[in-house]
Amino acid sequence: MPELPDVEIFKRYLDATSLHQRIIGVDVQSAYVLKGVSGRELARRLKGRCFESSCRHGKHLFVRADGDLSLRLHFGMTGSLHYFKAEEQAPRHTRVLFVFANAHSLAFEDQRKFGEIGLIEDVNNFLKKRALGPDALDVSLGQFREIFAKHRGAVKTILLNQKFVAGIGNIYADEILFRARLHPATQISALKAKTVSKLFRAARYILKKAIESKADADLMPKSWLLPHRGKGGECPHCGRELKSATIGGRTAWFCAHCQKRL
């Protein structure tokens, strides 16, 4: 499921392939993906324009078309982007195709159909309306501390709440907690200020390093949880078998030895 590092990689891919090219067509192959806009309107408003720049907030990607118009992309569970030449076949799970004047197209692919595409005029308004928290790579230590001081619950549930901090999902929440050596079910009321700072640093480190690794599990350090998570997986730190539990409705993987419950 695409989280902050994955969406950052999509952003860089889009920036490197699809900016500053005239859009000559928008082909909607599955209308389910459209939110608050019809296929006809999407095509009408984008045709003749170019994508000029993009910005990411949490798991959302906004692509500005010239004028005060932005395409909003959310990748759901399986969404991704693919840029290809007109003579090549579109990917199998293409939902919307943006066709450029340079005989290339950008496909929004999404096998599981949880992705979203919309058109918005004001990115900040959208973020406000959704009540999304600061981006996980922009949040300051002060803001992070305030979130932890103001709320109650298991530390993993807090990290996953997009209204507190935007961008962290199931996989990276587990990775961040593993690095901070914190059990995912630890109640945040039990955390000392020093531990909250440690968690903050762990989040920044993991998200940045994941982006450096192109959000590709095969390129991530073997000392991380990600290459080992799953049944029978062993802790890369102590070698004991990893455990799983349902926390905040999601499956957490962790090492019960290295990650103490406070």
The answer to the question of residue 127 lying near Zn ion (CB under 5 A) is no
Taking a C-beta distance cutoff of 8 angstroms, is the pair 137, 210 a contact? Answer: no
The answer to the question of residue 237 lying near Zn ion (CB under 5 A) is yes
Distances (CA, A) of 162 to 4, 60, 147, 151, 223: 11, 11, 12, 14, 27
- Catalytic, 12? Answer no
Residue 73 or 180 having the CB closest to Zn ion: 180
The answer to the question of residue 182 lying near Zn ion (CB under 5 A) is no
Q: Least distance from C-beta 257 to Zn ion, angstroms? A: 5
Q: Least distance from C-beta 65 to Zn ion, angstroms? A: 49
Nearest to 199 by CA among 184, 187, 182: 182
The answer to the question of residue 257 lying near Zn ion (CB under 5 A) is yes
Residue 137 or 182 having the CB closest to Zn ion: 182
Residue 16 or 238 having the CB closest to Zn ion: 238
Backbone angles phi, psi at 22, to 5 degrees: -60, 130
The answer to the question of residue 171 lying near Zn ion (CB under 5 A) is no
d(CA 49, CA 67): 9
d(CA 243, CA 254): 6
DSSP character string of 117-174? EEEES-HHHHHHHTT---BTTT--HHHHHHHHHH--SBHHHHHH-TTTSBS--HHHHH
Q: Among all chains, which residue has been given the structure tokens 């932890």?
A: 148
The answer to the question of residue 33 lying near Zn ion (CB under 5 A) is no
In a 3-state reduction of DSSP, which class is residue 106?
A: strand
Residues between 54 and 93 with contacts to Zn ion, criterion CB under 5 A? none
Q: Which of 56, 59, 64, 95 is catalytic?
A: 59
DSSP character string of 208-225? HHHHHTTT-GGGS-TTSS
Residue 127 or 247 having the CB closest to Zn ion: 247
The answer to the question of residue 225 lying near Zn ion (CB under 5 A) is no
Q: Which of 158, 159, 196, 255 is close enough to bind Zn ion by CB under 5 A?
A: 255
Residue 33 or 235 having the CB closest to Zn ion: 235
Residue 119 or 258 having the CB closest to Zn ion: 258
The answer to the question of residue 165 lying near Zn ion (CB under 5 A) is no
The answer to the question of residue 107 lying near Zn ion (CB under 5 A) is no
- Catalytic, 47? Answer no
Backbone angles phi, psi at 95, to 5 degrees: -105, -40
Instruction: With contacts defined by CB under 5 A, name the span among 142-150, 158-166, 190-198, 249-257 that binds Zn ion.
Output: 249-257
- Catalytic, 3? Answer yes
- Catalytic, 59? Answer yes
Q: Which of 33, 106, 199, 235 is close enough to bind Zn ion by CB under 5 A?
A: 235
Taking a C-beta distance cutoff of 8 angstroms, is the pair 72, 117 a contact? Answer: yes
Active site residues per annotation: 2-3, 59, 250
By CB under 5 A, name the binding residues for Zn ion: 235, 237-238, 255, 257-258
